[in-house]
Structure 1
């Protein structure tokens, strides 16, 4: 991230392109992209322990519902999903609300922001059996990178969302990426 702004110009340009494409796409669900949070909301959330990096992202994009199996939560929804950070009996995963902040879901598995390192962690391959995973995989070095390199990258999103080639034309998020000029 740049010193001038907590969000990169690439993130801002990408979100602007997605919002423009969404406004022109009456066949794509309008709740696909969240709005933004204001400074007052961000300050209150930070005082409640929400990681600053996540709040910086929400100032640009307060969540994205990429499809039924991939979501990047907006602030309000994230706050409702923090129970995923609580330790689970017999799970080998190092779950802890002091160390993790749940920011989304992939295939019924939570996606976390590592409070210490800022990386995005998850067990997307495990799906609904995520609590039995042996370890977290690093999905990206930051929330911004996760969004730009995983969710906005056509082929990577297609892989995460388990969209097969026959269904590509029906996936709203992939339609939006193409219309925003973000797909090959």
Structure 2
């Protein structure tokens, strides 16, 4: 794992490598990588309560669709998924829009940014039954670290629960290999 806030240069370099590989990969779906948000959009979103760390990430990469089981939302899509932060009857999880911000999905379970500590939290192994989990697992110390250390590495295959027989067909893994991020 990296520190809580990997340098923007590492994130930018990784995203640039992925965008270059995507441009040279007509066999990979083009919507895999989002664009970026501008300063005006970021300022308006921050005024509406979107966490700054998520906005800083969106300034470099406004979402990534890593495969059918893993998605890191762009700003517009994140705003549509904040209902996951609301309390759920009989769930032991501390769900609260004041404490959490939904930033993606892994295996049908939402992934949250902890507004206070900046960590990325979730229960990806619980899948659709995530609300029954006893507690959140910290997936990474921050949004950039989640992307760089969990999604832009070979660890993605484990996180996404990809069957060994399907590894060679996964578009995100193809893109990671072509960008020189995995073996």
Q: Cα distance, 1:166 vs. partner?
A: 1.2
Structure 1 residues without counterparts, runs of 5 or longer:
none
Describe how 1:153-172 pairs up with structure 2 within 5 A. Answer: 153-154=153-154, 156-172=155-171
Q: Cα RMSD over matched residues?
A: 1.6
SS at match of 2:41: helix
SS of residue paired to 1:65: strand
Q: Give ranges in structure 2 of 5+ residues lacking alignment.
A: none
Q: Name the structure, 1 or 2, with higher relative contact order (CA <8 Å, separation 6+).
A: 2
How far 1:164 sits from its partner (Å)?
1.9
State the Cα deviation string for residues 141-160 of structure 1 (Å, max 9, x = none).
Answer: 00000000000111x10011
1:23-172 equivalent positions in 2, closer than 5 A: 23-154=23-154, 156-172=155-171
**Normalising by the residue count of structure 2, what TM-score does the alignment of the two structures yield?**
0.96
1:7, 1:67 → 2: CA distance? 26
Aligned residues: 181
Provide the residue aligned with 2:172 in structure 1.
173
* 1:8 corresponds to 2:8: yes
| TM norm structure 1 | 0.96
Distance 1:119-1:130 versus aligned 2 partners, 3 A rule: same
